Structure 1
Amino acid sequence: MQRQGSIGGSAAIRVRVTGGVLLVAHLALVAWLMLRPLDVPWVAPANVHPLAGIRADLALGWPRAARPLGEGLALLAPLGVLLPMAHGRLDVSPLGSLVRTTASGALVSTGIALLQTGVPGRVVDVDSLLLNTVGVALAHLAVIPAGRARLRRREVRPGGPAKASVTVPEELPQGRTPTIPRVGIAP
């Protein structure tokens, strides 16, 4: 039996497997990038004041601020596409999907920040949590609604896979409950 609102047949398996493999590969790359020890002569103090680092980057001027802000937005942005892809459902609430995906991105970012506390040369930066989460939400909004709409149109098209429909049989007259002859009781 097919889950309600999921992509049908072998296409669902391909999308979910591809999404899962790409998700694992991306998380492995992020872990490798963010959890390697840094050999630096000094370490900046932890930034626990929201938006303080972003304001400091913007104070440097736009061309110099674009790189750190862009890196913060892009680090976990693929999760905004890969998490719904690995889930593989078409008929879901757009707002619910955005909230679930953004919350998952925030949890992954928080996990990375917590793991970084034990890595030499790495410090906690609350602004990276904010930028990573916003990046996940922006990627989700940019790709997922249009992708789901395209897949739904393809599913409804003649020649495309038909949606499963369930018909309810009309009331049949009830007869005697069958019994098992050897036991003498109804199942």
Structure 2
Amino acid sequence: MQRLGSDGGNAVTRVRVAGGVLLVAHLALVAWITLRPLDVPWVSAANLRPFAGIRADLALDPETAVRRIAAGLGLLAPLGLLLPLAGGRLAVSTLGSLLRTIAAGALLSLGIELLQTGVPGQVVDIDSILLNTLGVALAHLAVVPAVRAGIRRRAETRHRATVLREDPAQGLTPTIPRVGIAP
């Protein structure tokens, strides 16, 4: 949210701080969900083949498959909105923002999977990285471009209203015609 109006500086700071706080809270929740030890009688082998776990989920009944895939998509999906919100940029390339957000989501998901190797009861799954990254991308595409366009439109409308407003005591600003250089 770059400064477009006279009150922009304070608003940008508030948005970035709110985005940062929500981002930290979400990451704490994700860490608690994914990195706590589980007390299980046995642990399945790590899945290092892409789409093998998704195929296995689809082989189960449809309700269980949808629930597992939606959980994979939804775990890091809020990052698709929270990362750009914490960054606070308004005038940025849509593709650049999407690529930065996807890369951050993929790296965070990879970090979680690597940390899970040392947690009892947790298993590394490459499909989790794929689903988490896809969830981040879908959330970003669904929300961020529309919100940025709305904020830009609102800021431009406010800016035009400020520019067009005149001081009644002064009247309109006179225009002076161009004067050439004297001989």
Normalising by structure 2, report the TM-score: 0.83
Cross-structure match for 1:39: 39
Alpha-carbon shift at residue 6 of structure 1 (Å) = 1.5
Question: Which structure 1 segments of 5+ residues have no match?
Answer: 164-187
Unaligned residue ranges in structure 2 (runs of 5+)? 164-183
Q: 1:9 deviation in Å? A: 1.4
Instruction: Indicate the residue corresponding to 2:151 in structure 1.
Output: 151
**4+ residue runs of structure 1 moved beyond 4 angstroms?**
159-163
Residue matched to 1:54? 54
Cα distance in 1 between the residues matched to 2:32 and 2:128: 17
CA contact (8 A) 1:155 1:161 kept: no
Write 1 or 2 for the structure with the bigger share of helix: 2
Report the number of matched residues.
159
Instruction: Quote the residue 1:114 is aligned against.
Output: 114
Q: Return the alpha-carbon distance in structure 2 between the equivalents of residues 131 and 67 of structure 1.
A: 13
**Correspondence 1:6 to 2:2:** yes
> Residues 61 and 42 from structure 1, CA distance in 2 versus in 1: closer, same or farther, beyond 3 angstroms?
same
Q: Name the amino acid aligned to 2:15.
A: V
Over the aligned positions, Cα root-mean-square deviation in angstroms equals 1.7
Secondary structure, aligned partner of 2:76: coil
SS in 2 for 1:121: coil
Corresponding residue for residue 25 of structure 1: 25
Q: Do residues 87 (structure 1) and 87 (structure 2) align? A: yes
Deviations 1:38-84 (A, max 9, x none): 00000010000000000111111322201110000000000000000
Q: In 1, distance between residues paired with 2:161 and 2:38?
A: 52
Residue 141 of structure 2 corresponds to 141
* Normalised TM-score (structure 1): 0.81
Which digits, 9 at most, give the CA deviation of each residue in 1:109-164, with x for residues without a partner?
0000010000000110000000000000000001100110011011111368979x
Instruction: Return the alpha-carbon distance in structure 2 between the equivalents of residues 98 and 107 of structure 1.
Output: 14
